[in-house]
Every structure is written in structure tokens, then in C-alpha cells.
Amino acid sequence: MRTPVDQVTLLDLPAGVDGSWTLLLDLQASPNGSTGTAWLTLAGREPLRLIARAYQGTQNRVDVLLTPHPDDLAAHGVEMRLTVVPMTGGWARLDASAGQAFGQRIDHDMAAPGK
């Protein structure tokens, strides 16, 4: 049974959960783009293993599609599309992200503040 909530409700977060996250990409170049593995670590959780497919975008940007790795059942709630700009030393700047993770919609564009 579901009960609608129509008032402000405060819920305590589990210990170690603060909203932070880390994304590591391990991509290998190929003639049709790059493929590899991504690990998404949410605060207080084990890393999620994802399949990463990257394609050259516009203006030195790279479009990366993240889908669940078939061997990681916990990752099956995550699907994202990223726009990154490669930097020096193997780093990249995240310019935009869109998709869903565990029922939550993700839509973030660094070029459009407040979005």
C-alpha cells in the first residue's frame, strides 16, 4: 500500500552517505570509438561496474554512454550519457550528464547554470 506524502518530511541518511560520488573510466581506443569499463562509487556504497562506450563529440568533447555491466546486478539501476572534455594527465572534466540511477532522473549541464 502506498500513502502519499503532502508535507515536509525529514529522513535521516545512513552513515557515510553525503551525496558525493566518484566516476572512474578505463577506456581503450578503437577505430569506431572507445570502449571499456566505468566504476561509479556513490557515498557509502560499493563501486558499481558499468560498460562505457565513448564517441568523439563536438569541440573536443567526448560523449560517453554508461550501461549496466551484465555481471553487476546492483548496477542494473544505472544508465547515463555523459559529455566530458579530456584534460592532461588522464583526467577529464564532466560538462553534462543525463540519465537515471535507481529511479532518480539525472540531468545536469555545466553550460546551463541552474539546470
What's the CA gap between 19 and 113, in Å, rounded?
19
Please report where in the chains the cell 552517505 appears, as a residue.
17
Instruction: Convert the pLDDT of each residue in 52-64 to its tens digit.
Output: 999 988 888 899 9
Among residues 83, 82, 79, 81, the alpha carbon closest in space to that of 101 is found at: 79
State the pLDDT confidence band at 113, using cuts at 50, 70 and 90: low
Residue 21's pLDDT is what? 84
Instruction: Give 74's DSSP letter.
Output: G
- Predicted TM-score (pTM) of the model is 0.78
- What is the mean pLDDT of the segment spanning 16-41? 87
State the pLDDT confidence band at 49, using cuts at 50, 70 and 90: very high
